Amino acid sequence: PSFKLREVASIYFSMVMLFLIILMAALQGSVPKKTYKVPLDPKGLLELSWNISYPEQVVHFQLLIKHLQFGLLFGMSDRGEFENADLAVLWSDGHNSYFGDAWSDAMGQLHMDSQQDYQLLGARKAPKGLYLLFRRAFSTCDPKDYLIEDGTVHLIYGILEEPVHSLQAINISAIHRGLQRVQLLKPNITIPELPSDMKTMEIRAPDIIIPSQETTYWCYMAELPEGFLKHHIIMYEPVITAGNEALVHHMEVFQCAAEFDSFPRYNGPCDSKMKPDRLNYCRHVLAAWAMGAQAFYYPEEAGLAFGGPGSSRYLRLEVHYHNPLVFQGRRDSSGIRLYYTATLRRYDAGIMELGLVYTPVMAIPPGEDSFILTGYCTDKCTQLALPAAGIRIFASQLHTHLAGRKVVTVLSREGRERQVVNADGHYSPHFQEIRMLKELVAVFPGDELITTCTYNTEDRSRATVGGFGILEEMCVNYVHYYPQTQLELCKSAVDPGYLHRYFNLVNRFNDEEVCTCPQVSVPQQFYSVPWNTFNRDVLKSLYDFAPISMHCNKSSAIRFPGEWEKQPLPIITERLWEPIPRCPPTLGPRPAAPIPVNLGELRR
């Protein structure tokens, strides 16, 4: 009898455990996916919401059209063009409405896609407007479709203000249209628990009037309280003035250099001649937000230190307003809310600069479709500067100026590429944010971090050199990591002596003389180069093989001890495989014809 009792008890507890497992699985399945939202147009009449299913490799879209006329185009393209675009189209002849997956050719002519991958899930009218719900796989293996991948996505939209009788009758050059940049594939990260002693601080523009011009960068100086002790920033989020969601493009909070005892007050355009020069020493990023981004959380074991000895009390808020409709008299008090704690976490987080030094020796010839420059953080530097246990990178902010098109940083170990740290194949200098990584990247002493930038200078008539000016170029990845080390900058540039040899070679093989005299600056020498095929190819080869000058710098801008000039380029013996897009199974019926949508009669 005792054996049977034990057997029954075992079966009973097994059934209880099985029930609990099924219950937990059901609850997990019922948890709604996180939804993201962004206004598409400056007036806020079009609002996009979306969520992501990584197991299914699918994005669900919801468009709110607050004032529906005769339809809408929505889609994606390489850089926001309406030519060679992948589109979902809703159109009406006034009586009947249709939805379909379409594409545009190089002339902008629309065509119905033979493979319907934008799948309509529903359309309903509500007091706020028309809700249009549809989904799209990341990869469809349709050559006419856009591949949704990590990084920036250029979303495009067009509003149909007149009835149309067919898809082919839509003239995209005659419709009201625009673009919005977002990071569609947000990382699926668990939000850490916030401490009970957490406090908040808002760094906001003080009720300014947004200038009636398309682009404005507004600077405002703020100050921490006297005697503010060391704290950890553990989270931050945007604070947008209601009604200005479509105008506030991005914002950053910078901490000023601790070497200055005080900074002047300022509240005005960042490019104004009235802005004090000292504000240029406020460059240490504390927080950065761009349209479409959500709150930023630090890992539960780390926080960004501010306040206390060796830390400046002065902060600079920079807000980028994008006002293409040139609204007048719009007031704004947007900014960033910092969440911080006096209970310091285990690690101070640090920010390290990777990529290229800001120097004119790195240059891009004019008329280039995709010119590549690469900056190195070498094994010699990480061997010397990183702790034995290494560091963990958890976030990254990529940065170039106007010619930048792609940026990628790869971790290499013992000559073999191991992992992509961050990559953006559709990078835009007009959309920069600190992005949390999908997983921590461990970097150990002896590892190499290689940052490559691709530039387009087809619209330029002379060379673009490296530097701080907006028409000069940069190639930077600001990586956020822990624990903080003394290494603040790990970047490179071509050896100046080898560049001098390049100018001498150009002199010898070209009829036009290039002055390589010491009194002539490097930019002037580049500007005088006749950019024929030979001179372009030789410059590319120079950057591919010439020794580099390494900047392995502490926060004091002093290099770590060692020999850093004429260092050999890292040798990579094994490259990462390019990811192959996964062709998903059919997500349901995909008719090759447009789907009728019951919206009733539409009128002007």
**Catalytic member of 217, 266, 281, 527:** 217
154 is written with which tokens? 């250029």
- Determine whether 464 is exposed, middle or buried from the number of CB atoms within 10 Å of its CB (0-12, 13-18, 19+): buried
231 labelled catalytic: no
Phi, psi values for residue 203, rounded to 5°:
-105, 100
Q: Cβ neighbours of residue 232 under 8 Å, at least 6 residues apart?
A: 298, 302, 303, 304, 305, 340, 341, 343, 344, 345, 348
The dihedral over CA atoms of 165, 73, 456, 291, expressed in degrees to the nearest 10, equals: 160
Structure tokens at 370: 């995709």
Query: Is the CB of residue 198 less than 8 Å from the CB of residue 338?
Result: no
* H/E run at residue 397: strand 391-399
How many angstroms separate the most distant Cα atoms in the chain? 107
Cβ distance 80 to 154 under 8 Å?
yes
> Which of 476, 519, 523, 475 has the alpha carbon at shortest distance from 499?
523
Q: Residue 175 and residue 155: Cα distance in Å, rounded?
A: 16
Say how many residues make up the chain: 604
Of 256, 322, 240, the C-alpha closest to 289 is 240
Q: Given 154, 249, 399, 401, which residue is catalytic?
A: 399
174 CB-near residues (< 8 Å, 6+ apart): none
320 catalytic residue (yes or no): no
**Enzyme catalytic residues:** 217, 399
